[in-house]
Amino acid sequence: MNKNRLVYLLGLAGFIVMADNWVVSPILPAIAGNLGVDVAQAGLLITAYMIPFGVFQLLFGPLADRFGKKQVILFSVLAFTVATGLCALGSSLTGLAVFRALTGVFAAAVMPISLAMIGDEFPMQERQSAIGTFMGISFLGQGLSMAIGGTIAYLLDWRGVFAVYAAFSILPAVLLLANYRKLPSTKHPDSKFLAPYGKLLGTRRSLFTYLVVLLEGLFIVGGFSYVGAYIAKTYGFNFLTIGLIMTAFGVLTVIGGRVSSKLAARFGARNVLTFGLASAAAADLLIFFFGGTLPLLVLSVALLGAGFIFTHSTLLTRATEFAQKARGAAMSLVAFFFMGGGGIGTALGGRIVAASSLSTLYLVYGIALIVALALSFVLIRDRVVEPDENKEEIGNL
């Protein structure tokens, strides 16, 4: 299969997964109201999705390395479609949390295995551009998810959102089946199941990268999870309007994904990472100080999207350098720390909201992102690892 077509096909699968991943945020107030719980309690639905999403990376990555990436991703997309449909049947917070957890389990395979396939097919000089395109398409799903989810919730209800998303999920499943024979699938039957994780976490360069990914998940995803609730409380807008405002996040991720590689080539990857974290911190602090002014709120949401994509695409590209024979494991660790961090950050955010206010959450997380920026500047350096050097650093995985 043509490499660019592969990126777009994987991007479509990522589009659906990320659309479903973030859809709870704009409809969180609707779910809370319908189930008779407060927003802080309903926020546990995001954690229920993200924690299994992160944990099961550790299973799917080695499985893909050993048995083939296309085999694992096809199974996961099919199971993800069923699990998403089950979410429409949730009649209690506990039941819905269980279905969201199942969705997170099967969604876990799509992003890291897609990124590992891109890492297999694209040389380093083309990789960040391909990853940026893939991430841009995927997070366009996130952006449009908010508008689409808000519209469906406005016209129908929140259950209709999950039913429609299950229907959408059928498309990438059908396309993966139709192109199955053409999909690349590098296998390493001799790869050890858990050994790559020990080596990756035992090497300073990769360990520091995963630490910054964890901080990114904690404070960017953790803060973004409550943007919909903040808009609803501050302005009293309906779910359609909330979704449209939050689409600014997705639009900036698409734009940022297209230009991130060019900026990295011109200014250096570490500078792009610094700009991303600084943008996310500025977004949170703008919400705290000026969130009551609508144009500045929209700007804040857009800055959060730019901050996310510049940070994440840089860290993802860096992680593809770590292990050629265990690239699935390397990318799974990225998703594990990112989504696990996002789940923990959302749960901590719920506690902050319950103890104080939504505004306080953005002050705390804005300051935390400044600290993360300072740490990343110390821990992350611009340096491309050549294949021979990589073998020495990470080991022959």
Query: Do the Cβ atoms of 271 and 381 come closer than 8 Å?
Result: no
Burial profile 252-286: b = 16 or more Cβ within 10 angstroms, e = fewer: bbbbbbeebbebbeeeebbbbbbbbbbbbbbbbbb
To the question of domain 3-394 being in CATH 1.20.1250.20, the answer is yes
Contacts of 357 (CB under 8 A, 6+ apart): none
Question: What's the residue count for the chain?
Answer: 397
Mean pLDDT for 355-374 is: 96
Residues above pLDDT 70, as percent of the chain: 91
Mean pLDDT for 220-244 is: 87
Q: How confident is the model at residue 255 (pLDDT cuts 50, 70, 90)?
A: confident
Indicate the range of 69-73, 213-217, 377-381 predicted with least confidence. 377-381
Strongest mean pLDDT among 111-115, 121-125, 350-354: 350-354
323 vs 12, residue with greater confidence: 12
pTM given for the model:
0.75
Q: How confident is the model at residue 289 (pLDDT cuts 50, 70, 90)?
A: very high
- 388 HSE (CA, 13 A, CB side): 0
Q: How confident is the model at residue 299 (pLDDT cuts 50, 70, 90)?
A: very high
Is the confidence at residue 391, as pLDDT, over 50?
A: no
Dihedral sign from CA coordinates of 258, 297, 349, 148: negative
Q: How confident is the model at residue 325 (pLDDT cuts 50, 70, 90)?
A: low
Mean pLDDT for 25-43 is: 82
Query: Measured between alpha carbons, how far is 320 from 385 in angstroms, rounded to an integer?
Result: 10
Two tokens at 63? Answer: 């499985």
Is the confidence at residue 386, as pLDDT, over 60?
A: no
Q: How confident is the model at residue 191 (pLDDT cuts 50, 70, 90)?
A: low
Query: Do the Cβ atoms of 311 and 334 come closer than 8 Å?
Result: no
Mean pLDDT for 82-100 is: 89
224 vs 156, residue with greater confidence: 224
Two tokens at 97? Answer: 């949390």
CA-based nearest residue to 117, from 247, 280, 3: 3
pLDDT the model gives residue 193: 65
Query: Measured between alpha carbons, how far is 325 from 323 in angstroms, rounded to an integer?
Result: 6
13 in helix, strand or coil? helix
Name the residue ranges covered by the structural domains of the chain. Answer: 3-394
Q: What are the two backbone dihedrals, phi and then psi, of residue 378, each rounded to the nearest 5 degrees?
A: -80, -40
